[in-house]
Amino acid sequence: MTQPDVFPPLSVHNLTFQYRAREQPAIEEVSFTLHAGELLLVAGSSGCGKTTLIRCINGLIPRSYKGELNGQVLLHGQDIADMPLSRISQIVGTVLQDPERQILGAHVFTEVAFGLENLGLPRDAIRRRVDETLEYLGIAHLRNRETFYLSGGEKQKVSLAGVLAMRPDILLLDEPLASLDPASAQEALALFRRLADEGVSILLVEHRVEDALSIHPDRVLFMQDGKVAYDGPLDGAMQVMDYRQVKLPAPVILERAARTPLPAFEPAIKSNGRDPLVTFEDVSFVYEGGREVIHNVNLTLRQGDITAILGPNGAGKTTLVKHAIGLLKPTHGRVLVQGTDTRKLSVAQIAHTLGYVFQSPSHMLYAPTVREELAFGPKNLGYSPELIEQGVNEALDTVHLRGLENYPPLALSFGQQKRVSIAAVLAMRSKILVMDEPTAGQDYWNYIAFMDSILQTPGFAAILFITHDLDLAICYANRVVLIEGGRIVGDGPPAEVLTDLELLKRCRLVPTSLLKANLEHLPQTGRFLSAEALAHAINFT
């Protein structure tokens, strides 16, 4: 890190902001300084004000998001209140949590070139800088791809490329790892560290604190209820942060959780003869342009399965699941939902059986209030007003959205929006719950609380979730399916599939501290457990 600046790249003084639709400030009396070449990790529970802070720094507040703003944000000593947004964007680059809300171009090249064109750079300079950035990020192979057909992780990398191509002094990263497979996340973190070492000032907002610790952030800012609860070195932050709010390394949780009572947990989903619910028979799928994404997949989801689908970005995980819900039809083979070919069923008919939570909340949310959002699906399925009301209230409780019923969904944080999208499907009472990256943008408490609630909710015959979070599969799945290159390369109980470290490496899955702890104690426990459950099993075995 360089010596302190006369005018540091970023100074925030007594910053308070309250959205028009909110009764309480989203952030309150926030002050800190970010120096040149410094990497600042910002952590805290979902909805604590991290994204609002970013919006204040990049000028979107108060220009796009309205409310009452007090305090100052200074860029190189100049108040951004006196700067046009075009000037701010040349100094501050932002990578949003949800890449769907950032990508505008139809092709990767035009997307990355967009900001440079707005800066008025010559054509040759734009082409050179785009190619250099794509090469720098290791995604040159995506140069001519259509952005619509990219995976969530690939879109996140392209969003980062569009920002880096403009060569900002300050980089704001809002949950940049949320859509990345573990190996890509490690590569991204190493890139952030390298950028900081090269002089870029980085503010990294991230729930995956354990992953972020690997690059040794220079400082940690821990936020609670819109205020700065801690600002200082990493060692001190580990003592202050609550493992139930922020996901910490398994050894830390094992030590602390052993002293805390373990609540009883028993999934409500039960097997009854292993009835097949969804069957893939020799399924292959080719997108326009001739690129085959799914290759000869044979897979049966049965009553009682809690299935985690894992694999690298672009492996075909979401494409596979979209076949189950009828959004895509196989190029070859067939998909059966409770014995009926999906070619003979409408998406609405399939929705009675399978409820799908999209990876990006912006694909689902549109209603003026959370309550109306949750009631929309059940109304379309023809449920009675009484059943709709009951389903909405149960969903609000399950994903901990009480008090936000009358808020506009798109005014909420990404993590809260994600919970609204999950609640919208819960309210529909589908037989099978299908979730794409359900824990993206969630703090550890919400991650655990709503997954516990969902698995203990009666009525589901099976649950399937796509995830890059190895620990989510360890804690909740009774079946793991690994996909690599559009093919199923692993299928079985977590304690069998996730012990093959070479296979994990092939699928760009990085062993976590929780996986290592479970492997160490597997002879004692006989199965994989959450860190909290493992702490008690070790103590009492």
pLDDT digits (tens, 9 = 90+) for 27-39: 999 999 999 999 9
CATH of the domain at 446: 3.40.50.300
239 burial class (0-12, 13-18, 19+ CB within 10 angstroms)? exposed
Question: 271 in a domain, yes or no?
Answer: no
pLDDT confidence bin for 540, thresholds 50/70/90: very low
195-247, pLDDT tens digit by residue?
999 999 999 998 888 889 889 999 999 999 999 999 999 888 888 888 877 88
- Higher-confidence residue: 359 or 76? 76
pLDDT score at 273: 62
Asked whether residue 324 falls in the same domain as residue 448, the answer is: yes
Question: 527 in a domain, yes or no?
Answer: no
Residue 392 CB contacts under 8 Å (≥ 6 apart), including other chains: 371, 374, 375, 378, 427
Find the domain containing 486 and state its range. Answer: 276-494
- Higher-confidence residue: 184 or 91? 91
**How high does pLDDT run on average in the chain?**
89
Question: 465 in a domain, yes or no?
Answer: yes
- Higher-confidence residue: 331 or 540? 331
pLDDT score at 245: 78
Contact, 420 vs 373, CB < 8 A?
yes
Asked whether residue 330 falls in the same domain as residue 417, the answer is: yes
| C-alpha to C-alpha distance for 355 and 426, rounded to whole angstroms | 8
Domain boundary among 477, 494, 511: 494
Contact, 44 vs 207, CB < 8 A?
no
pTM of model > 0.95: no
Domain boundary among 248, 266, 293: 248
- Reply yes or no on whether the pLDDT at 541 is more than 50: no
6-64, pLDDT tens digit by residue?
789 999 999 999 998 788 899 999 999 999 999 999 998 877 899 899 999 999 999 99
Question: 515 in a domain, yes or no?
Answer: no
Asked whether residue 212 falls in the same domain as residue 293, the answer is: no
Asked whether residue 396 falls in the same domain as residue 466, the answer is: yes
Question: 2 in a domain, yes or no?
Answer: no
Asked whether residue 198 falls in the same domain as residue 333, the answer is: no
Residue 146 corresponds to which tokens in the numbers above?
């259509």
Q: Which residues does residue 340 pair with via DSSP β-bridges, in sequence order?
A: 337
Backbone angles phi, psi at 257, to 5 degrees: -70, -25
pLDDT confidence bin for 2, thresholds 50/70/90: very low
514 burial class (0-12, 13-18, 19+ CB within 10 angstroms)? buried
Question: 500 in a domain, yes or no?
Answer: no
297-318, pLDDT tens digit by residue?
999 999 999 999 999 988 999 9
| Averaged pLDDT for residues 427-450 | 82
pLDDT score at 247: 82
- Reply yes or no on whether the pLDDT at 4 is more than 60: no
88-111, pLDDT tens digit by residue?
988 999 988 777 778 888 999 999
List C-alpha distances in Å: 103 to 22, 154, 197, 358. 28, 11, 28, 17
Question: 119 in a domain, yes or no?
Answer: yes
Contact, 49 vs 107, CB < 8 A?
no
Asked whether residue 90 falls in the same domain as residue 228, the answer is: yes
Asked whether residue 408 falls in the same domain as residue 484, the answer is: yes
Asked whether residue 36 falls in the same domain as residue 105, the answer is: yes
- Reply yes or no on whether the pLDDT at 491 is more than 50: yes
448-464, pLDDT tens digit by residue?
887 888 888 777 889 99
Asked whether residue 240 falls in the same domain as residue 304, the answer is: no
Asked whether residue 230 falls in the same domain as residue 322, the answer is: no
- In which region does residue 107 sit, left (phi positive, over 0), alpha (psi from -120 to 50) or beta (all else)? beta
Asked whether residue 139 falls in the same domain as residue 235, the answer is: yes
Question: 282 in a domain, yes or no?
Answer: yes
| C-alpha to C-alpha distance for 248 and 237, rounded to whole angstroms | 11
329-375, pLDDT tens digit by residue?
999 999 999 999 999 999 888 988 998 888 777 778 889 999 999 99
The helix or strand, by DSSP H or E, that contains position 402, with its residue range, turns out to be none
Asked whether residue 379 falls in the same domain as residue 442, the answer is: yes
Total structural domains in the chain?
2
Domain boundary among 473, 494, 515: 494
